[in-house]
Amino acid sequence: MHDLESCSLCEWRCGVDRLQGERGVCRVGRAEVAATMCSGTLASYIVTLTGCCYRCLHCNAYRISQYPDPGWQYAGHVPAAVLVANARERIVAYRGPRIRMIGFTGGDPIIHLPYIEEVAAEVERQGLDLSIGISTGGFGTLEAMERIVDLCRTITLEIKAFSDPVHRALTGAPVAPVLRNAEYLAHEGRDRIRVFRTVVIPGMTDREVGDIAAFIATLDPGVPYRLIGFRPNNVLYYHPGPPKEQMERLCAVCRDAGLLDVAWSGYYPEAVPDGIVDVADRLAPAYEEDPAAALTAAYAAACGCPTHPRDCGACSLRDRCPATLREPWRGR
């Protein structure tokens, strides 16, 4: 934890002693855990850490990334040995696909790199067959990125914008370190890259996607690139999200730029999907021909809810309800 005594883990290089209560841009001291979960989709035990070196206007996890300012309280600091023991217990009890990794997210976990290294050492000490993954906004120092490449099996890097003015306006930080780190990963940690990704915000980052794609193509056209549709949140709560057609069009732009592996998820619907309308028509008799009730129930039915009219108390699936999706953006 000596790194925290004069912290230079991210490019702000604040030099503060986080162990003694001094606060830099990230505003946090020792690593604190906000939440954990088993993700079958990622085959990972996800550990969400508080704090971030950015001040993103669109952050959907701002209560975590801007901790402690929003006033929410979390689990606090969890010693590495305890976290790994908890992970072991949760993974054994998990009924989904095999968990192969402990994945760190936030906020931006790069500001807690010494803690992640402690967890990795503890995983080895406890004899667990688990690798380490990280999701970062890429504002770490080059030295930190070198350590991440040595430590992690998978790395997700988010490039929020390509131009410095847009990146500064959105995050409060310059973009140069992010592009440098993307280049470093492509050259020195290519086998570690899970994806590069960008959140598509209409009128803001949508115009950046083509330049980002062209930049990635110069590094390695095979790097997977993912576009994430913005959902109104945080300071941009009243800013519109992208329609489906825009997401598909931007994917085409990325392919035209030379990228070989491009996909998108999430969009901002402008109308009720046709499939939902069809389900609502079918369910109308179960809801006394009330169109509002049928439309509402159709969304639950589309997720797999079998009981109509809905009656959770009598449902045979009440202990494994399919209408409580962990990743609703997949149901597009």
- SS3 of the chain: the string is CHHHHHCCCECCCCCCCHHHCCCCCCCCCCCCEEEEEEECCCCEEEEEECCCCCCCCCCCCHHHHCCCCCCCCCCECCCHHHHHHHHHHHHHHCCCCCCCEEEEECCCHHHHHHHHHHHHHHHHHCCCCCEEEEEECCCECHHHHHHHHHHCCEEEEECCCCCHHHHHHHHCCCCHHHHHHHHHHHHHCHHHEEEEEEEECCCCCHHHHHHHHHHHHHHCCCCCEEEEECCCCHHHCCCCCCCHHHHHHHHHHHHHCCCCCEEEECCCCCCCCHHHHHHHHHHHHHHCCCHHHHHHHHHHHHCCCCCCCCCHHHCCCCCCCCCCCCCHHHCC
What topology does CATH give the domain 2-265? TIM Barrel (3.20.20)
CA distance 177 to 112: 18
The pLDDT of residue 97: 93
Identify the pLDDT of residue 17.
97
Q: What is the pLDDT of residue 271?
A: 83
The pLDDT value recorded for residue 318 is 79
Which ranges of the chain have pLDDT less than 50? none
Question: pLDDT tens digit string along 244-269?
Answer: 999 999 999 999 999 999 999 988 88
pLDDT of 241 reads 94
- Supply the pLDDT for residue 319: 80
Q: What is the pLDDT of residue 331?
A: 54
Per-residue pLDDT, 139: 98
The pLDDT, as a whole number, for residue 270 is 78
pLDDT of residue 258: 98
Residue 52, pLDDT score: 97
Query: What is the greatest pairwise CA distance in the chain?
Result: 67
Q: In this predicted structure, what is the pLDDT of residue 323?
A: 78
Q: Which residues pair with 262 in a beta bridge?
A: 225
- Give the pLDDT of residue 118: 98
Domain ranges of the chain: 2-265, 274-330
Q: Which of 10, 12, 55 is nearest to 160 (CA)?
A: 55
